């Protein structure tokens, strides 16, 4: 299916992303045009719909490095929960929690926000191949790595380079959303959460993995330098207040150390 999007340059115009762009085993390069004539490039199945005028943290910009993208999932992401929590937590358990809470269904539309290498998006496609999955990130390097991994797994999806503060999607477009660790790296976390609420259907599920403020002195010392790079941490109460302010209800939560998984429902 083609994906109808809101043009980044104008709320009054739309663009259509061809369904064949999501077939990642076949390389696709081309151009999209909005109603007012502005063009957007698709290179290697990745549609560039970035909007201008935003600032980014050091943590955000580090994701643009090719070496970071190549090492991210295999070196860090597969081990990160256990390292951060101090307790064993295999990546397969995280994927299981994602699928149990999101409950992907055939022909439903799902978005991986700040996808990095699209670990969550790929997991949803593996669980329900007939679902339609979109993955966005500001980093082209991460999206290129996502394409490689998804192609090997025959996990077709739409890959879009876009800023989560101004997403090129229509209101109520998605049946479910997912975000893994991105919230802590955002410079405008509330604006992104408002955008997420705008594009998800009422009653839709938003699967969120985020990091909490450490309780121990040692933990606080470790989180201090991360703050210099733009990484933020909140208490569980502060996190839930953010979600509720943006229009989400906390339906379920699971904590392991400073790592928190939240099942949010759009109200």
Residues sharing a CB contact under 8 Å with residue 85, sequence separation 6 or more, in sequence order: 256, 257, 258, 259
Query: Exposed (0-12), middle (13-18) or buried (19+): which is 242, by Cβ within 10 Å?
Result: middle
Query: Exposed (0-12), middle (13-18) or buried (19+): which is 39, by Cβ within 10 Å?
Result: exposed
Report pLDDT for 218. 47
* Residue position matching structure tokens 């999007």: 5
Measured CA distances, 150 to 108, 123, 138, 143, 209 (Å): 19, 10, 18, 10, 21
How far does CA 39 lie from the centroid of its chain? 25
* CATH for the stretch 45-266: 3.40.50.150
Report pLDDT for 74. 66
Tens of pLDDT, residue by residue over 194-235, are: 999 999 999 999 999 999 987 764 455 555 555 556 688 899
Report pLDDT for 68. 64
**Mean pLDDT for each consecutive 10-residue tract of the chain (267 residues)?**
88 90 96 85 96 57 55 62 66 93 98 96 97 96 95 97 95 97 92 98 97 68 58 92 98 92 98
């Amino acid at each position: 299916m083609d994906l109808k999007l809101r043009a980044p340059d104008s709320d009054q115009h739309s663009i259509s992303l061809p369904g064949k762009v999501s077939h990642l085993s076949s390389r696709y390069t081309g151009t999209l045009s909005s109603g007012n004539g502005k063009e957007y490039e698709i290179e290697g199945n990745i549609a560039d719909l970035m909007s201008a005028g935003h600032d980014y943290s050091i943590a955000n910009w580090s994701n643009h490095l090719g070496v970071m993208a190549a090492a991210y999932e295999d070196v860090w992401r597969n081990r990160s929960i256990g390292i951060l929590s101090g307790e064993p937590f295999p990546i397969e358990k995280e994927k299981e929690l994602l699928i149990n809470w999101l409950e992907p269904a055939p022909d439903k539309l799902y978005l991986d926000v700040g996808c990095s290498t699209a670990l969550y998006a790929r997991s949803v496609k593996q669980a329900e191949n007939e679902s339609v999955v979109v993955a966005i990130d500001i980093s082209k390097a991460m999206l290129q790595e996502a394409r490689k991994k998804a192609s090997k797994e025959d996990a077709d999806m739409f890959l879009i380079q876009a800023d989560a503060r101004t997403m090129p999607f229509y209101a109520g477009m998605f049946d479910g959303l997912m975000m893994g660790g991105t919230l802590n790296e955002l410079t405008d976390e509330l604006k992104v959460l408002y955008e997420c609420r705008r594009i998800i259907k009422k009653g839709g599920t938003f699967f969120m993995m985020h990091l909490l403020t450490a309780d121990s002195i040692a933990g606080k010392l470790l989180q201090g330098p991360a703050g210099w790079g733009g990484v933020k941490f909140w208490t569980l109460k502060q996190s839930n207040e953010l979600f509720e302010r943006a229009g989400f209800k906390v339906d379920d939560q699971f904590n392991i150390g400073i790592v928190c998984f939240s099942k949010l429902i759009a109200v």
